[in-house]
Amino acid sequence: MSILTIENLSKSYGRIQALKNVSFSVPEGSVFGILGPNGSGKTTMLGTIMDILKPTSGSYRLFDELPTHLHRQRIGTLLETPNFYHYLSGVKNLEIAAEIKQHGKEDIPRVLEMVDLTRRKDSKFSTYSLGMKQRLAIASCLLGNPKVLVFDEPTNGLDPVGIAEIRDLMKELYREGKTIIMASHLLDEVEKVCTHVGILKMGDLLAAGKVDGEILVTGCMDFEFIGGSLGSVMGERIARAGTARRSPRWPGRCGRRRRPRWSSRCRP
């Protein structure tokens, strides 16, 4: 079964085209990364499928059906940092979240255990580290045991330890059989956590499919501004795969070229 099928989805904000005719599908049981730099349309994509934003054109299906609020109720979402009460404990905040979502409180011990916050459940939210706050937010998504989870940049702003914790949690949720759709601007995150990827650049889908070296090389070679972790990881990956003639100016020089020329020059 396809959890999400997107067909020719476009979204404009006035003259800004945030999504341009994007189509892909998310298989059940996958961890699907929507990968792209800032402003590529990741949040717009997630906001659209969760009915926060209306598409300009195109359509999508959830669970192979026309989407309704009942389908969305089966999806746990973390699209922005939730507003927890700083002066209340983690468990009390989850009780409030459970009430708002009309779930029973009986699920709270399970979700606290999943995100490894049982020992700190009675501590005030204000005393939590950033990583713990993010894990509490994920615990809130897990209330009611949804089969599908949607996360927008779940490791944003975390230190390396917090990032590792969240990535381990993703892998555990995947092993449990959840389908996860997550936005990320980090190539290495997608490589480490995701089974599938859709690569966006300025609203265009450059590539989509199973995560393997080829799709990441194909999809990411259009990034003219590869830098930071994305650039270094791409450099390492391509060098490892022996698919690039190393150039001291790589990737800037390659990235500025049109795709066919880049392909013939940098791939075997």
Nearest 5°: CA angle at 203, between 135 and 235?
70
Question: Using the rule CB under 6 A, which residue among 3, 30, 31, 42 binds ligand ATP?
Answer: 42
Question: Using the rule CB under 6 A, which residue among 25, 31, 41, 178 binds ligand ATP?
Answer: 41
- Return the sign of the alpha-carbon dihedral for residues 217, 45, 151, 73: negative
CB of 203 to ligand ATP, least distance (A): 7
SS3 state at 5 = strand
Piece in contact with ligand ATP (CB under 6 A), picked from 1-9, 38-46, 125-133, 162-170 = 38-46
Q: Which is nearer to ligand ATP, 178 or 185 (CB)?
A: 185
Question: What CA–CA distance (Å, rounded) separates 163 from 248?
Answer: 31
CB of 14 to ligand ATP, least distance (A): 7
Q: Does 44 bind ligand ATP (CB under 6 A)?
A: yes
Which residue, among 238, 193, 233, has the nearest Cα to 211 in the 3D structure? 193
Q: What is the DSSP letter of 58?
A: E
CB of 113 to ligand ATP, least distance (A): 31
Piece in contact with ligand ATP (CB under 6 A), picked from 25-33, 42-50, 78-86, 111-119 = 42-50
**Separation in Å, CA 150 to CA 77, 107, 182:** 5, 19, 6
Please enumerate in sequence order all residues whose Cβ is within 8 A of that of 171, keeping only pairs 6 or more positions apart, or say none: 193
Question: Using the rule CB under 6 A, which residue among 3, 4, 9, 18 binds ligand ATP?
Answer: 18
Q: Does 20 bind ligand ATP (CB under 6 A)?
A: no
Per CB under 6 A, residues contacting ligand ATP are 13, 16, 18, 36, 38-44, 185
